[in-house]
Amino acid sequence: MEAERTLRQEDLTELAELAAQLRVDAIRCSTRAGSGHPTSSLSAADLLAVLISRHLRYTWSAPRDRANDHLIFSKGHASPLLYAVFKAVGAISDQELVDTYRQYGSRLQGHPTPVLPWVDVATGSLGQGLPVGVGIALAGRYLDRLPYHVWVLCGDSEMAEGSIWEALDKAGHYGLHNLTAIVDVNRFGQRGPTELEWDLDTYRRRVEAFGCRALVVDGHDLAAVDEALGRARQATGPTVVLARTVKGKGVPEVENKPGWHGKPLKPELADRAVAALGGVRRIRVTGPRPEPAPPAAAPAGPPPTLPRYDKGAKVPTRDAYGDALRAVGSRPDVIALDGEVSDSTRADRFGEAYPDRFFELFISEQQLVAAAVGLQVRGYRPFAATFAAFLSRAYDFVRMAAVSRADIALAGSHAGVEIGADGPSQMGLEDLAALRAVPGSTVVYPSDAVSCAALVAQLVDRPGVTYLRTTRGGYPVLYDNDDSFPIGGSKVLREGGDIALIGAGVTVHNCLAAADELAREGIDARVVDLYSVKPLDADGLAAAVRACGGRLLVVEDHYPEGGLGSAVLECLADLAEPVRVTHLAVRGLPTSGTPTQLMAQAGIGVGDIVAAARAAPAPSR
C-alpha cells in the first residue's frame, strides 16, 4: 500500500481493511496472553492504519536509518496495537505476535521497550512519550537539521499529566514543526470516564494556549484523519491532532462501555469479535520511505583539554562542572540542558561557548530529563543539570530512562546542608539514595575541582544513567591536575592505621581537618575519598578495613538512608573480616544557617568526626 497524494475510494477500502487487521491482531494476541489492553488499542486502530500507510516515512528493514521518522506510543499500554503494526509492516511474524506477546522471555513485553529495534524509548508510565518526543524533535530541528518527523500517540487519560503540558509548552517555545501529537480521545480511562471525556473544545483551547496548533477530527473517519496528518506534516509549528474515538471500536459488545480497560476479551467473545471484523488477515503495508540522509559526523578531534587548577585554591565543584562541560563541548555530540538555574549549576559556561548545543528547559524538570532521553535517541551525549533536590520532581523520568537503556548524564548542584542559609527546601539530601537505586546507574561525588573535571570527562562515554553531585561552596583543591580518578576507584589522602575516615564531596575536607586534630592526640587516621559512590571501590574499602583493624567512620552530607554509608555497608556485607562502622549523616531536619553551623547541627562537622573517632569501638572478633 503506497502513499498517495489524495485518497481514492479504493484507498479508503484498503485502509479500512488494514484497520480491521490491526484490531483483529490486537484482540488475538491479548486474548492468547490472557492480559493486555485491547480496547485501548481498538480505539486508535484507524489512526495508525492511516499513519503507517501514508505518512510515517520509515524503512522498517533499517530501523537505525537517520532519515526515519520516529513513532512513539506514549500510551504504551496500547502495545497490542503497536505490535500489530509491526506485524503489518513485516517487522515481526504473526506467530511471534500471537504466541509470545507478554510471555516470559519475549521481546513483545506488556509495554514497549527498546529491546525491539523499532522502539526508541520505553513507555507505559503515562505522560512520558510526548516529552521524550520533544527531545527528539529538538535534535531534528536544531542539530541534525533533517526532515524526519516525530509522531507521538497519546491517550486522553495522560492529558491530565503535568508533563504533557510541559512538553507542549516547550514544543511551542522552540517551534517544533516536526512534532505531532495524536491524542486518542476515547473518553474512558482505567476506572471510568476521563476528566474531560469528549470535550474536544476544551482540549483544543488548552493546546492552543500552549502555543501549538490543534486539529479536531473524528478518529474513525479515515479521510479526515488522513487530511489532518497531512496538514501536520506541513505545519510551521507543533501540531496536536485531537481525535474523537470510541474505546473498543469494532466490537459492539464492549464499545464505549466502562469496565473494559486492561481486560482481554475471553476466547468466546474474541472469536465472535474476530469473525465480525472479517477474520484474520495477512495484509502487508509498504508505507512511504524517507529520503536518504547523510551519515552522522563522528566525534572528531583530540581529547578535550580539561581545566587546570592550583593546588590549595578554593574552587566550588559546581564551577569545575561548568568548566569541564565547556571543555568536553569540543566534541560535537555533547549537548547541555538546564532547568533555568544555569548560573548556579554553571552550565551557562557551556551555553556561552556552544549556544547552538545548549537548551534551556526552564523550571520543567520532567521535560529536562525527557529531552535528554530524546536527544540520546539521536546519538547525542546530553548533560542535564539542576539543583540536586529538584531532580526528585523528575524521578520517574530517570527511572524510565534506565528502562529505556538511555545514556544520559545528570548533574545535581546545591547538595546537602552545606548550601547553608537557603534552608531545607533547597537541600538535596535524598539524591544519592535515589540515583543509586536506578538500575545500571553511575553515581559520583567529587571532593575538589580536579577530580570533578576528570569525572565529567569520563561521563561523556559512560553508558546508562550517570549522576554527578556538586558542591556550592569553594573548598581547597586537593589533587594534582594529572591525577587519575577511574570510576569505581577511591583515593587515600592520608595513610593511617588507627581508624579510617571515609567521606565524599564536602565531608572529605571535614575528615582531613579531623585527621589533623586526631594526629595531635596521637590517633593515626586514614582518610579515604570515596568519590565513586556507585560503583564503589570494594578493594579500597577492604584495604582500609585491614589497615585500620576493621575500624571505619563514614561521614556524609546526606540523609542516612541509602547514601554513602549504606553503600559502604552493602559493600562490606560479604567481607569475611571483622569490621565496625560508625556512620555520621544528616539525621534531623535542617534549618537555615552557615555551612559550618549546619554541618555541626547535623553532626557531620569536624568536631563531630573527632569525637566519633575517639569513641569508635574496635570490631568484635
423-429: Cβ within 8 A, 24+ apart? 423/590, 423/591, 423/592, 424/589, 424/590, 424/591, 425/389, 426/387, 426/389, 427/389, 427/590, 428/387, 428/388, 428/389, 428/391, 428/469, 429/389, 429/557, 429/558, 429/559, 429/586, 429/590
* The three three-digit cell numbers of residue 342, written as one number: 544555569
Of 166, 365, 430, 556, the catalytic one is: 365
Cβ atoms of 84 and 21 closer than 8 Å = yes
268 is catalytic: no
Residue 377, CB-side half-sphere exposure with 13 Å CA sphere: 36
Whole-angstrom Cα distance, residue 363 to residue 361?
7
- Residue 478's region, left for phi above 0, alpha for psi from -120 to 50, else beta, is alpha
Going by C-alpha positions, the residue among 43, 67, 45, 71 that lies closest to residue 56 is: 71
What b-and-e string marks burial along 208-227, b requiring 16 or more CB atoms within 10 Å of the CB?
eebbbbbbbbebbbbebbbb
Cell 575500624 belongs to: 551
Report whether 613 contacts 553 (CB < 8 A): yes
Collapse the DSSP code of 203 into the 3-class scheme (helix H, G, I; strand E, B; otherwise coil) and give the result: helix
Rg (CA), the chain: 28
Cβ neighbours for 528, distance < 8 A, ≥ 6 positions apart: 490, 491, 492, 493, 500, 501, 502, 503, 540, 541, 544
Edge-to-edge strands, sheet with 358-360: 358-360, 334-338, 381-387, 408-413, 465-469, 442-444, 532-534
Q: In the 8-state DSSP scheme, what is residue 565?
A: H
Question: Which cell is 408 given?
Answer: 544520559
The set of cell numbers assigned to 12 is 479508503
Give the dihedral sign, CA 108/112/118/121.
negative
Order across the sheet with 70-73: list the strands: 70-73, 150-155, 179-185, 239-244, 213-218
**107 secondary structure, DSSP code:** S
> In terms of Cα–Cα distance, which of 493, 597, 602 is closest to 556?
602
- Report the C-alpha gap between 94 and 90 in whole angstroms: 9
Q: 343: which residues sit within 8 A by CB, 6+ positions away?
A: none
User: Rounded distance, CA 419 to CA 602, Å?
Assistant: 13
Would you please indicate which residues are annotated as catalytic (active-site) residues? 365
